[in-house]
């Protein structure tokens, strides 16, 4: 009797364990299915975010190349039905066009059922998933919208519009492929309906979920989906066995003998699983952290600690998130927190508690981190930290290039109009010479009864001087205009790879001496000295292009110097020739030194008005030096002057060399 009771109790215990095992297996497979679904959602979010970033950087470039860009996006996901640009909430571009022509010109403001999602995208400044909704072409569709913001005329950020991806929901789920994970299970994918509190079934079998079932939440940008499942044949079929007491007795004995071994095995399995999880977390290239429901750190990887190096010693299990944040602020870890620490902490804690939107964070060392926190069903929180410094830098460079292009066009317009105005103005005057007072004076003198030859001669000479001066102005303006055009043509040929050099043996000391003689008058007119310190040296270069470089450097040195002067040096250094142009001018700030050789850049934007030019001279000079196999760099200090240094190989471009005495020799 006692054996029967023990066996029965053992049977109940076994059934309980089996039931627990079945439930754990369902939970595991649900988690795997949710992971695959989250991966697809993340990939869609990245595609949408990439399109938004492209439009924010250069909307003109995206609209001009929309078909190619949208084609590449659609190619990455076969479920995508169309891609659209929606400036000012009106669809202006859609791909593929043939199947979606009717959508062009559609105003989202006239679609009240979608407008709440549109407002939410702008309000939360993030990618929003809308749907599934019924598609006109049939089936259920999922809409992924991304808000686009642009800098307005006064530097205020404004809403540009939206980008959208529309997907066939059934194909989207087919791409997720739940097959193996949900095999043998009845499952349903649903979402809560805010207005009623009921569940809307998105996929699966709704009738199977009236009793006990397992579920997991999938956080979709803008909404939450719930994946539920139960075994198709029920949680557990109770066994019927008439020989159970005897079997149970034997089983009791067996369990008694092997119980300890099973416990040891389970402990080893658990330890192995924990070790694998730790290895996987450490293998992540991004920072990862897990906080429990009480907001205390459970675990994190080394990458997470490296990102927050200033407070890495504090990042240990058991520390609360607020403790870590406050200590990081105290140590100056967060750049934007300096000066408003408490307000920054309150806002950071609010975002952490809500954990429903990504945001960017700049660290004290200048790096940018994308923070992505998500709350799990049990109240714990997982956080990812992604270093986006390169992306931010690329975006800033693209924006800087766009600003430089705008400033260049403005400067070019001014630089071209000024000489053209002079040329056209004076030529217009010369077309109407009979109206000149000087011409009328000559004619009146000739028509006088007794012409005064001396007076007429004086009038003629005055007129000759006047017209000569106007001709010189026309010549100066024409020369300036020709220089601008030549710079543009040179830069275009260099960028296109069609810029050819014509090297020949050249005495650089002689070339530099001739230029110093030619430009001495310009320096003298400003009260500056222009001197040469040259060692006789020959080099195989294109003399026309080297002359062009020196004219640009010496001209700039004179232009930007108010007192003192300019020194030109020619030196030999092993297998190189060194050219130096040093001035005593106003100098360049260290932060601006990297930009001086960039096309269309000027250190002070007012320079293109005060001194002329469109910012191509140094960019062209750098390209020419590099085509010679050399290098150019600059050193400067504000108020102390600037020195440009050019280094060119002595025998890099020709098989004929000239020694320092002018004697030719084969190399």
Distance between CA 227 and CA 181 in Å, rounded?
Answer: 12
Spell out the residues 6+ positions from residue 31 whose beta carbon is closer than 8 angstroms to its own.
Answer: 216
Query: Which pLDDT belongs to residue 356?
Result: 78
Cβ neighbours for 191, distance < 8 A, ≥ 6 positions apart: 199, 200, 202, 223, 224, 225, 226
Listed residue (521, 584, 579, 522) closest to 545, CA to CA: 579
pTM: 0.38
Q: What is the DSSP string of 242-309?
A: TTHHHHHHHHHHHHHHHHHHHHHHHHHHHHHHHHHHHHHHHH-SSEEEEE-TTSBEEEE-HHHHHHTG
- For 298-318, the pLDDT digits (tens) are 889 988 988 898 888 989 999
Average pLDDT on 537-544 reads 90
Which of the four pLDDT bands, split at 50, 70 and 90, describes residue 274?
A: low
Give me the mean pLDDT over the 531-553 stretch.
91
Higher per-residue confidence, 352 vs 476: 352
Model confidence pLDDT, tens digit, residues 74-85: 887 888 989 999
> Which helix or strand (DSSP H or E) is residue 124 part of?
helix 112-124
**C-beta separation of 532 from 568 below 8 A:** yes
Pick the closest to residue 201 from 117, 132, 128, 113 (CA basis).
132
Distance CA 116, CA 111 (A): 10
pLDDT bracket for residue 255 (50, 70, 90): low
Beta strands in 55-184 (DSSP E): 80-87, 93-95, 128-134, 140-151, 157-168
d(CA 282, CA 262): 30
Note the pLDDT tens digit of each residue in 280-293: 778 778 888 999 98
Distant-in-sequence, close-in-space partners of 421: CB < 8 Å, separation ≥ 6: none
How many CA atoms are closer than 13 Å to the CA of 153, on its beta-carbon side?
Answer: 0
Q: Residue 175 is inside which H or E element, if any? A: helix 169-176
Cα–Cα distance list, 130 to 51, 161, 167, 402 (Å): 17, 16, 11, 33
154 DSSP assignment: T
Contact 64, 35 (CB under 8 A): no
Position 605 scores a pLDDT of: 47
* pLDDT above 70: percentage of residues in the chain: 80
Instruction: Identify the bridge partners of residue 539 per DSSP, sorted by sequence position.
Output: 506
**Phi, psi (degrees; rounded to nearest 5) at 308:** -110, 60
**Three-state DSSP class for 102?**
helix
Q: Label residue 566 left, alpha or beta by phi (over 0 means left) and psi (-120 to 50 means alpha).
A: beta
Helix (H) or strand (E) holding 554: helix 543-559
Task: For the beta carbon of residue 63, count every other beta carbon within 10 angstroms.
Answer: 14
Residue 659 has pLDDT above 50, yes or no: no
Q: What is the pLDDT of residue 492?
A: 72
Mean pLDDT of 194-200: 76
Q: What is the pLDDT of residues 479-513, one digit of tens each?
A: 767 776 777 777 677 777 777 888 999 999 999 99
What local confidence, expressed as pLDDT, does residue 655 receive? 36
pLDDT value at 602 more than 50: yes
DSSP string covering 490-503, please?
A: HHHHHHHT------
Beta bridge partners of 189: 203, 227
Q: Give SS3 for 238.
A: coil
Alpha-carbon torsion 430, 433, 437, 442, what sign? positive
| CA dist., res. 494 & res. 622, Å (int) | 11
The encoded tokens of residue 545 equal: 């292009």
Question: What pLDDT band is residue 514 in, cutting at 50, 70 and 90?
Answer: very high
pLDDT digits (tens, 9 = 90+) for 54-105: 888 778 877 888 888 888 888 878 889 899 999 998 999 999 988 888 888 8
| 453 pLDDT above the threshold of 70 | yes
> How confident is the model at residue 412, as a pLDDT?
61
Give kind and range of the element (H or E) at residue 26: helix 2-57
Q: Is the pLDDT of residue 548 over 50?
A: yes
Judged against a pLDDT cut of 80, whether residue 217 lies above it is answered with yes
Q: What is the mean pLDDT of residues 617-635?
A: 89
Mean pLDDT of 601-613: 49
Cβ atoms of 225 and 212 within 8 Å: the answer is no
Burial 245-257 (b: 16+ CB within 10 A, else e): beebeeebeeeee
CB-side exposure of 64: number of CA atoms within 13 Å?
A: 4
Handedness of CA 207, 208, 212, 213 (dihedral sign): negative
The predicted pLDDT at position 213 comes to 77
Residue 374 confidence (pLDDT): 87
655, 665, 552: which is closest to 612 by C-alpha?
552
pLDDT score of 656: 32
Q: Quick one: pLDDT at residue 406? A: 66
Please say whether the dihedral angle defined by the alpha carbons of residues 364, 593, 479 and 429, taken in this order, is positive or negative: positive
Nearest to 93 by CA among 115, 69, 66: 66
**What pLDDT shows up at residue 606?**
41
- pLDDT recorded at residue 229: 86
User: Which residue, 38, 33, 37, is CA-closest to 185?
Assistant: 33
- Asked if residues 597 and 632 have their Cβ atoms less than 8 Å apart, the reply is yes
d(CA 193, CA 197): 5
Strand-pairing partners, residue 637, are 641
Query: Distance between terminal CA atoms of the chain?
Result: 112
SS3 344: helix
The token pair that represents 433 in the structure block: 């010479």
CA distances from residue 340 to 108, 147, 322, 474, 660 in whole angstroms, order as listed: 40, 29, 16, 60, 67
Distance CA 577, CA 572 (A): 5
Q: Which residue has the tokens 């080297």?
A: 546
Q: Tokens standing for 452?
A: 């005064």
- Own/partner contacts of 33-37, CB < 8 Å, gap of 24 or more, are 33/176, 33/178, 33/181, 33/182, 33/187, 33/227, 34/216, 34/217, 34/218, 34/227, 36/176, 36/177, 36/178, 36/181, 37/176, 37/178, 37/218, 37/225, 37/227
Which residues, in sequence order, are bridge partners of residue 191?
200
Phi and psi dihedrals of 82, rounded to 5? -155, 160
Q: Where do the domains of the chain lie, and which CATH numbers do they carry?
A: 2-175 (3.30.450.20), 284-387 (3.30.450.20), 394-495 (1.10.287), 500-666 (3.30.565.10)
């Amino acid at each position: 009797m006692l054996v029967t009771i023990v066996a029965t109790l053992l049977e109940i215990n076994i059934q309980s364990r089996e039931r627990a095992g079945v439930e754990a297996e369902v939970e595991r497979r649900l988690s795997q299915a949710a992971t695959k679904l989250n991966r697809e959602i993340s990939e869609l979010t990245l595609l949408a975010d990439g399109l938004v970033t492209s439009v924010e950087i250069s909307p003109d470039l995206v609209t001009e190349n929309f078909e190619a860009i949208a084609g590449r996006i659609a190619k990455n996901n076969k479920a995508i039905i169309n891609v659209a640009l929606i400036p000012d909430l009106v669809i202006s571009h859609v791909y593929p066009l043939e199947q979606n022509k009717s959508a062009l010109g559609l105003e989202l403001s006239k679609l009240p059922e979608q407008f709440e999602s549109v407002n939410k995208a702008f309000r939360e400044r993030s990618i929003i998933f809308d749907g599934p909704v019924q598609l006109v072409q049939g089936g259920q569709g999922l809409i992924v919208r991304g808000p686009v913001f642009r800098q307005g005329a006064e530097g205020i950020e404004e809403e540009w519009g939206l980008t959208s991806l529309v997907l066939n929901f059934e194909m989207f789920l087919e791409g997720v492929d739940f097959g193996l994970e949900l095999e043998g299970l009845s499952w349903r994918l649903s979402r809560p309906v805010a207005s009623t509190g009921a569940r809307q079934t998105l996929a699966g079998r709704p009738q199977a979920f009236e009793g006990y079932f397992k579920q997991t939440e999938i956080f979709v940008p803008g909404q939450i989906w719930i994946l539920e499942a139960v075994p198709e044949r029920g949680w557990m079929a109770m066994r019927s066995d008439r020989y159970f007491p005897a079997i149970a007795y034997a089983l009791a004995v067996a369990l008694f003998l092997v119980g300890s071994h099973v416990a040891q095995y389970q402990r080893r399995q658990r330890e192995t699983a924990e070790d694998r999880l730790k290895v996987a977390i450490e293998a992540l290239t991004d920072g990862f952290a897990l906080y429990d429901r009480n907001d205390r750190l459970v675990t994190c990887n080394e990458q997470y600690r490296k990102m927050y190096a200033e407070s890495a010693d504090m990042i240990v299990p058991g520390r609360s998130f607020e403790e870590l944040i406050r200590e990081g602020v105290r140590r100056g870890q967060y750049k934007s927190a300096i000066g408003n620490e408490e307000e920054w902490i309150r806002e950071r804690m609010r975002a952490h508690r809500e954990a429903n939107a990504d945001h960017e964070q700049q660290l004290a060392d200048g790096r940018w981190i994308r923070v992505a926190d998500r709350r799990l069903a049990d109240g714990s929180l997982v956080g990812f930290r992604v270093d986006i410094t390169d992306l931010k830098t690329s975006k800033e460079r693209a924006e800087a290039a766009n600003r430089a292009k705008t400033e260049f066009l403005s400067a070019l317009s001014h630089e071209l109009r000024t000489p053209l105005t002079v040329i056209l103005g004076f030529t217009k005057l010369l077309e109407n010479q009979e109206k000149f007072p000087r011409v009328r004076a000559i004619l009146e003198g000739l028509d006088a009864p007794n012409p005064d030859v001396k007076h007429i001669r004086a009038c003629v000479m005055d007129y000759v001087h006047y017209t000569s001066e106007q001709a010189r102005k026309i010549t100066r303006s024409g020369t300036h205009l020709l220089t601008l055009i030549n710079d543009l043509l040179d830069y275009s040929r260099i960028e296109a790879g069609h810029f050819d050099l014509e090297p020949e043996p050249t005495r650089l000391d002689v070339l530099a001496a001739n230029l110093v003689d030619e430009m001495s008058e310009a320096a003298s007119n400003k009260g500056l000295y222009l001197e040469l310190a040259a060692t006789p040296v020959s080099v195989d270069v294109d003399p026309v292009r080297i002359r062009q470089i020196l004219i640009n450097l010496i001209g700039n040195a004179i232009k930007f110097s108010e007192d003192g002067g300019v020194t030109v040096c020619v030196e030999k250094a092993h297998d190189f020739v060194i050219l130096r142009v040093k001035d005593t001018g106003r100098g360049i700030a260290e932060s601006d030194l990297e930009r001086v050789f960039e096309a269309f850049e000027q250190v002070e934007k007012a320079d293109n008005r005060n001194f002329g030019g469109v910012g191509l001279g140094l960019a062209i000079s750098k390209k020419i030096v590099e085509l010679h196999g050399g290098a150019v760099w600059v050193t400067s200090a504000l108020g102390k002057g600037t020195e440009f240094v050019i280094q060119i190989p002595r025998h890099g471009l020709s098989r004929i060399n000239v020694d320092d005495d002018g004697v030719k020799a084969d190399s």
